[in-house]
Chains A and B, each alone.
Chain A
């Protein structure tokens, strides 16, 4: 298959180009800057818009404008920048505007450092911006998925008229892998019912104001319904060595890559370790994780590069039938396969 060696950050830009994304608005930040750099190189070749915004805040508002005009539009950043974008993301969600935001997570809180981390999980998944809304969150763990899931992100954004995050960490963004470039999309969805094109037929209103309390509650309930449909239809997971697994690990992004290595080591030692990898974080694989409790497992171990943010959702899904243990690293440290296997041995006596 035709392929090209590229960084995960670059692969996201290729995915955007292939998905028919017409504009990139962003602000530089390590370790996400290659997204803006690649976009600045590629988008002009297609007569598409690249603009380095004056701030993260401006960038997300430019995304709001482009999305309101029916364009597929991308921005990328990392933790501190995502914090700044949150108001705009709430507006996008409130105005039902499809857009794609890539978050290459780094160490936090505050300025933290530029090492890989997964500490933006709660910020991205649990709001971050104000008000009642959710965003769809896809969690790639390879350069290939950075391309593929960015394409999917645009599809889901348009399907549900909702912002979609591609959420990963510095390792996946900075790592180079061979990427098979998919075929470009041939047809873009029709948005003429709501988008503003500066024509007589498109004198629509993009807006999130509902002054009347009942009107706003009605809109909130419509959004809730939409999120329920997304929860029902869009869960994606990868199961790895789950058939005979006695201990199941759960992780996404870089941690899931390390888990693959950990499972190889564990299996050599006769430990039947498997992995359930959420590819979508919202919708969260609630049913898939809940059903783990009925498998008679020796244990469930959530591995994350954050302070227990993922394990909270895992335990919520398990509903008290089992409790997942936590193996986590932070501060820019990635867990090693060996330390995970050793922890598994200690926790479960295997």
Chain B
């Protein structure tokens, strides 16, 4: 008997000629078992890449599972990735290299179990990639455990009594799920169990790869594939098993093909030029003023706690004070209370304005409190340092402070804002009052800063807020000097 000599005329250029990454001596053949479908699918892909002359531009994402070593074979860029995450990795690879053809190659455990969300979301975003989903109804690499696509009653090493749908659920039909989404352009299920179906798979592989080359978006090719080792069968019965058992559960179909009607995805070119970066970040509009500090100011440093109801402009009062302080060349910090409190009820923030470096940003022992409502007065009055300044909103607070060692500034803050016609300007009434109490800021300079404090707002808004600053400032000057 003459032994047939194995002759390989030529591998498709999509394959590496010698599988250099593969350990061991057998660098000319795959690690897949005899009768396995992976080798067939690999070859269909490799041929298509050659035929379309895109081997150079292709990047293959190898998953976890039997195809974890797909990178042994494809003469492309290769990334091996964590279990289930191939679509997430393929997403950023595709975004980083918009002209490349990104292939996410996954098995059923990887794609439909641990990576179930990742595949749905990549499909839903319509990422420009092709996903080859090898469905063999079992975990091959780990030795034959149940997959999400394992059939009803099918015995695996983790369903030794057969898959019980009452406890293990039903086989997941992934194409049907993907087809519920709007974005995918091509969704198809084929099989590798005989030559006619291999030919159909070949056509689907080529169509999907062309879609990706043409930047049409998300193409999904589910391929029913033999796993004789996992199924504990010979190769031929395995092919028959697909026909008799898998196809009834996973019907072969083109679920969607809208690639013809879909335009190519365009991705922007990143701006990296430093001058352009500075222009976009508006470097020229950055604060560069160093306003003259008032040497006779009553305060040379302020740690102020501003508190009230949410919606009373607490945070914006603090940010405005910090911004003005910065324009005077002070070191400034602003810290919000960002707990669940911010969802309503009370809000407070800490602002520090001082010449030297700021330590803690929370004002635990403030020398000023601005209390916009009664609970805030009661809470924060207690933590003021002796001799500290207490500004409080008499429009909403009808009690007197209990401490007698403070400088108190009862001001109808909300009332002043309402008189100006807009309650929201109470923040700037506060800023005006702060300027007068501390002597640190000049109201005229604050007016000059309006364009930067109210960037993008109308002239009317600025005018109104200018008035608010004046009113707050004058109220203090007239009543407490």
For A204, the chain B residues whose CB sits under 8 A away are 77-78
Interface positions, chain A 51-65, Cβ under 8 Å from B, are 51, 53-55, 57-59, 61-65
For A64, the chain B residues whose CB sits under 8 A away are 79, 81-82, 85, 89, 92
Do B280 and A45 touch across chains, with their CB atoms under 8 A apart?
A: yes
How would residues 350 to 389 of chain B score, 1 for a CB under 8 Å from any chain A CB and 0 otherwise? Answer: 0000000111111011000000000000000000000000
For B464, the chain A residues whose CB sits under 8 A away are none
Do B95 and A51 touch across chains, with their CB atoms under 8 A apart?
A: yes
* Residue from A45, A183, A336 within 8 A of B364 (CB atoms): A336
Interface positions, chain A 213-268, Cβ under 8 Å from B, are 254, 257-264
How would residues 93 to 112 of chain B score, 1 for a CB under 8 Å from any chain A CB and 0 otherwise? Answer: 10111011110000000000
* Residue from A58, A199, A264, A334 within 8 A of B362 (CB atoms): A334
Distance between B354 CB and nearest chain A CB, rounded to angstroms: 11
State A115–B36 Cα separation when bound (angstroms). 54
Do A71 and B277 touch across chains, with their CB atoms under 8 A apart?
A: no
For A46, the chain B residues whose CB sits under 8 A away are 270-272, 277, 280
How would residues 275 to 292 of chain A score, 1 for a CB under 8 Å from any chain B CB and 0 otherwise? Answer: 000000000000000000
User: Does B292 touch A at the CB level, under 8 Å?
Assistant: no
Distance between B63 CB and nearest chain A CB, rounded to angstroms: 11
For A170, the chain B residues whose CB sits under 8 A away are 338
User: Does A68 touch B at the CB level, under 8 Å?
Assistant: yes
* Residue from A23, A62, A185, A211 within 8 A of B88 (CB atoms): A62
Do A260 and B92 touch across chains, with their CB atoms under 8 A apart?
A: no
Which of B68, B277, B322, B359 has the most C-beta atoms of chain A within 10 angstroms of its own C-beta? B359
State A31–B340 Cα separation when bound (angstroms). 11
Interface positions, chain A 39-91, Cβ under 8 Å from B, are 44-49, 51, 53-55, 57-59, 61-66, 68-71, 73, 87-88, 91
Chain A residue at smallest Cβ distance from B273: A184
State A229–B408 Cα separation when bound (angstroms). 60
User: Does B163 touch A at the CB level, under 8 Å?
Assistant: no
Interface positions, chain B 268-325, Cβ under 8 Å from A, are 268-272, 274, 277-278, 280-281, 283, 286-288, 319, 322-323
For B79, the chain A residues whose CB sits under 8 A away are 64-65, 68, 196, 205-207
User: Does A17 touch B at the CB level, under 8 Å?
Assistant: yes
Q: Knowing A3-B286, A46-B277, say if A65 contacts B359 (CB, 8 Å).
A: no
Do B59 and A196 touch across chains, with their CB atoms under 8 A apart?
A: yes
User: Does A270 touch B at the CB level, under 8 Å?
Assistant: no
Do A178 and B331 touch across chains, with their CB atoms under 8 A apart?
A: yes
Do B269 and A212 touch across chains, with their CB atoms under 8 A apart?
A: no
Distance between A192 CB and nearest chain B CB, rounded to angstroms: 12
**Per DSSP, are chain B's interface residues mostly helix, strand or loop, or mixed?**
mixed
Do A211 and B339 touch across chains, with their CB atoms under 8 A apart?
A: no
User: Does A114 touch B at the CB level, under 8 Å?
Assistant: yes
State A181–B280 Cα separation when bound (angstroms). 13
Interface residue count for B (Cβ, 8 Å)?
A: 70
User: Does B151 touch A at the CB level, under 8 Å?
Assistant: no
Chain A residue at smallest Cβ distance from B326: A178
Chain A residue at smallest Cβ distance from B320: A5
How would residues 1 to 30 of chain A score, 1 for a CB under 8 Å from any chain B CB and 0 otherwise? Answer: 111110000000010011010110100001
Do B361 and A257 touch across chains, with their CB atoms under 8 A apart?
A: yes
Do A178 and B92 touch across chains, with their CB atoms under 8 A apart?
A: no
Do A203 and B77 touch across chains, with their CB atoms under 8 A apart?
A: yes
Q: Knowing A54-B118, A199-B57, A257-B361, say if A63 contacts B93 (CB, 8 Å).
A: no
Do A65 and B357 touch across chains, with their CB atoms under 8 A apart?
A: no
Interface positions, chain B 251-282, Cβ under 8 Å from A, are 268-272, 274, 277-278, 280-281
Do B78 and A198 touch across chains, with their CB atoms under 8 A apart?
A: no
For B23, the chain A residues whose CB sits under 8 A away are 211-212
Do B96 and A23 touch across chains, with their CB atoms under 8 A apart?
A: yes
User: Does B121 touch A at the CB level, under 8 Å?
Assistant: yes
For the complex of A and B, 5 pairs with smallest distance between CB atoms:
A198-B100, A261-B359, A260-B359, A47-B268, A65-B92
Q: List 6 A-B contacts (CB under 8 A).
A: A64-B85, A66-B92, A175-B333, A177-B333, A197-B100, A257-B358
